[in-house]
Amino acid sequence: MSAVVQSIDVNSATAEREQTDGFHLVIDALKLNGLTTIYGVPGIPITDFGRMAQAEGIRVISFRHEQNAGNAAAIAGFLTKKPGICLTVSAPGFLNGLTALANATTNCFPMILISGSSEREIVDLQQGDYEEMDQLAIARPLCKAAFRVLHAADIGIGVARAIRAAVSGRPGGVYLDLPAKLFGQLMDAEAGAKSLVKVIDAAPAQIPAPAAVKRALDVLKSAKRPLIILGKGAAYAQADDAIRALIEKSGIPFLPMSMAKGLLPDTHPQCAGAARSTVLKDSDVVMLIGTRLNWLLSHGKGKSWGDAPKKFIQIDIEPKEMDSNVEIVAPVVGDIGSCVAALLEGIDGRWPAPPADWTGAIKTKRDDNVAKMAPRLMNNNSPMDYHGALGALRTVIKERPDAILVNEGANTLDLARGIIDMYQPRKRLDVGTWGVMGIGMGFAIAAAIETGKPVLAVEGDSAFGFSGMEVETICRYNLPVCVVIFNNDGIYRGTDVNPTGGADVAPTVFVKGSRYDKMMEAFGGVGVNATTPDELKRAVDAAMNSGKPTLINAVLDPAAGSESGRIGNLNPQSKLKKK
């Protein structure tokens, strides 16, 4: 009798081994394509999926809110050139992740938002299912591509399509809808394995046309006052050596956009970062590498670009980008690595150095601005002002150039961008194209996980609030993240008053004297209250040396800071006379 039972057990075990299901096929498809980290929040219908993924060797990082998991996936994509994976539950979890997906698409970061969804039959008849929502339709206009897989046999193709859509051409966000029923669908294991697709050459090189390269070189050579602007597309390309060679061999001054800082050190003799307004105004030929002429560059026209006629050369993988705001006289369409390599071939020993009066004028301007700033960065005021606090953090990054700097806020962002020099590529991660608040903790967590490097997150007190609960996540995974909160009691400043004299405080003002450091202590991390730049520097150094999760409440003067940081001019103004 017992022998019979045993043999039945063995048979059913063998039968089980020979079957697979949706859960395992998704896991196998991700692993087959080297996607071994998932950022997400568990719940129906993906809780078991997360458990099984962890059991199968995928690193599953659980967050407190999907938007932060989505931001983590997005920046993982930027740092690795592989799509970051964000996993959410249906309807509300999906919507929470969607902001990050849209932001990733806007910033050209490759990511895949995988959301479980409810019963199709019930959703489509709007019969009120648990977390009912037509997620695919909602995601579609907000990302590069959106797919749904209904049959286990299509999981391999679905994942492959999502990967290709995310990383090929201009990278971006992709939505992958996996209905609850799919996960449990059984399939013959061998057929299942065969149905998986290993994506070959997910982001194929796109070689620029030789004629386009020659046209660009001719325009560049004719310049009297040339300028190269590097964008985060150039940083993403990981063509660091070629970009550096192009700049150094041509001798042309360069201006890094925020997340391109460090591609070449900000202290490089050709860096025009501290002479930005001069080079934008006075240049005659501008070569854009992986940067768009959007609002961040005043659309390539108007006051900040001066009156002198200007010719633009643009290197971008997306042909539709050309002429988006002004005429591009020399479009070079291709991937940045291939385009820069092709341009480099034309820049030989006979390439004329830019006229000395141009490079000299930039140097004078830069040296002047740096000298003007220097004493302000050395002040040890208490409460701190932005310059004193940032002077201390500037030294931290100078001493630890491989640390990753995450940065968000208004004044906290704009002033840190200008003051903290970067020395290595892809070390500065910030609010990007939309100037979105809330990327802080998601970016910091993924940066630590993907690179293993120490992370310094410099956060406005308002900015931090958007993702602050993730300090628990930082403690839970014991990540080497040091969060510094520039606490000026509010949004832009902490000094506004309610004009009516009523009990409510002004809309931009927070609780005065808050101690954000206590939040970190609640989860076992290190909390520090710093009131001077010296104290701040010591606390950050200790955090970086120990690698312990740390949050430093940096007490700033509530009156320090200006409306909207550097972009106050974008606020609409009332023409009515104030009462």
Ligand X SMILES: Cc1ncc(C[n+]2csc(CCOP(=O)(O)OP(=O)(O)O)c2C)c(N)n1
What residue ranges bind ligand X (CB under 6 A)? 409-412, 435-438, 460-463, 486, 488, 491-492, 561, 565
Which are the contacts of 409, defined by CB distance < 8 A and separation ≥ 6? 416, 437, 458, 459, 460, 461, 462, 463, 486, 565
User: For 516-570, what is the HEC assignment?
Assistant: CHHHHHHCCCEEEEECCHHHHHHHHHHHHHHCCCEEEEEEECCCCCCCCHHHHHH
Q: What is the DSSP letter of 571?
A: S
H or E segment to which residue 464 belongs: helix 461-465
Residue 63 binds which entry of Mg ion, ligand X, none, with Cβ cut-offs from 5 to 8 Å by kind? Answer: none
CA gap 442, 457 in Å, rounded:
11
Q: Which is nearer to Mg ion, 174 or 456 (CB)?
A: 456
Q: Which is nearer to ligand X, 168 or 412 (CB)?
A: 412
CA dihedral sign of residues 325, 329, 332, 336: negative
Q: CB 431 → ligand X: shortest distance, Å?
A: 7
Q: CB 71 → ligand X: shortest distance, Å?
A: 11
Share of the chain residues as helix, strand and coil, in percent rounded to the nearest 5? 45, 15, 35
189 in Cβ contact with 20 (< 8 Å): yes
**C-alpha Rg value of the chain to the nearest Å:** 26
In the three-class reduction of DSSP (H, G, I as helix; E, B as strand; rest coil), residue 21 is classed as: strand
CA gap 76, 85 in Å, rounded:
8
Residue 565 binds which entry of Mg ion, ligand X, none, with Cβ cut-offs from 5 to 8 Å by kind? Answer: ligand X
Residue 410 binds which entry of Mg ion, ligand X, none, with Cβ cut-offs from 5 to 8 Å by kind? Answer: ligand X
CA geometry: angle 71, 76, 81, nearest 5 deg: 130
Q: Which is nearer to Mg ion, 334 or 494 (CB)?
A: 494
Q: Which is nearer to ligand X, 202 or 429 (CB)?
A: 429
In the three-class reduction of DSSP (H, G, I as helix; E, B as strand; rest coil), residue 482 is classed as: strand
Q: Which of 461, 470, 472, 517 binds Mg ion (CB under 5 A)?
A: 461
Q: Which is nearer to Mg ion, 485 or 540 (CB)?
A: 485
CA gap 447, 456 in Å, rounded:
10
Q: Which of 77, 83, 256, 460 binds Mg ion (CB under 5 A)?
A: 460
For 200, other C-beta atoms within 10 Å of its C-beta total 7
Instruction: Name the segment binding Mg ion (CB under 5 A); options: 60-68, 106-114, 281-289, 455-463.
Output: 455-463
Q: CB 98 → ligand X: shortest distance, Å?
A: 13
253 in Cβ contact with 269 (< 8 Å): no
Q: Is the bond into 110 cis (omega within 30 degrees of 0)?
A: no
CA gap 148, 395 in Å, rounded:
49
User: Residue of minimal CB distance from ligand X?
Assistant: 460
Q: Which of 424, 488, 532, 553 binds Mg ion (CB under 5 A)?
A: 488
Q: Which is nearer to ligand X, 91 or 439 (CB)?
A: 439
Find where tokens 């009297």 sit: 224
Residue 407 binds which entry of ligand X, Mg ion, none, with Cβ cut-offs from 5 to 8 Å by kind? Answer: none
Q: Which is nearer to Mg ion, 109 or 464 (CB)?
A: 464
For 527, other C-beta atoms within 10 Å of its C-beta total 21
Nearest to 483 by CA among 520, 450, 429, 521: 520
Instruction: Name the segment binding Mg ion (CB under 5 A); options: 153-161, 355-363, 454-462, 567-575.
Output: 454-462
Q: Which is nearer to ligand X, 404 or 436 (CB)?
A: 436
Q: CB 489 → ligand X: shortest distance, Å?
A: 8
Residue 411 binds which entry of ligand X, Mg ion, none, with Cβ cut-offs from 5 to 8 Å by kind? Answer: ligand X
Q: Which is nearer to Mg ion, 450 or 461 (CB)?
A: 461
365 token code pair: 């301007």
Q: Which is nearer to Mg ion, 197 or 444 (CB)?
A: 444
* Strands (E) located in 231-358: 254-256, 285-289, 311-316, 330-333
Residue 156 binds which entry of ligand X, Mg ion, none, with Cβ cut-offs from 5 to 8 Å by kind? Answer: none
Q: CB 107 → ligand X: shortest distance, Å?
A: 14
**How many chain residues are in contact with Mg ion, going by CB under 5 A?**
3
Q: CB 377 → ligand X: shortest distance, Å?
A: 17
Q: List binders of Mg ion among 197-226 (CB under 5 A).
A: none
Q: Which is nearer to ligand X, 92 or 568 (CB)?
A: 568
Q: CB 493 → Mg ion: shortest distance, Å?
A: 7
Alpha helices in 260-410 (DSSP H): 276-282, 336-345, 356-377, 386-399
Q: Which is nearer to Mg ion, 215 or 515 (CB)?
A: 515
Q: Does 385 bind Mg ion (CB under 5 A)?
A: no
Q: CB 557 → ligand X: shortest distance, Å?
A: 11
CA gap 421, 262 in Å, rounded:
8
Q: Which residues sit at the interface with Mg ion, rule CB under 5 A?
A: 460-461, 488
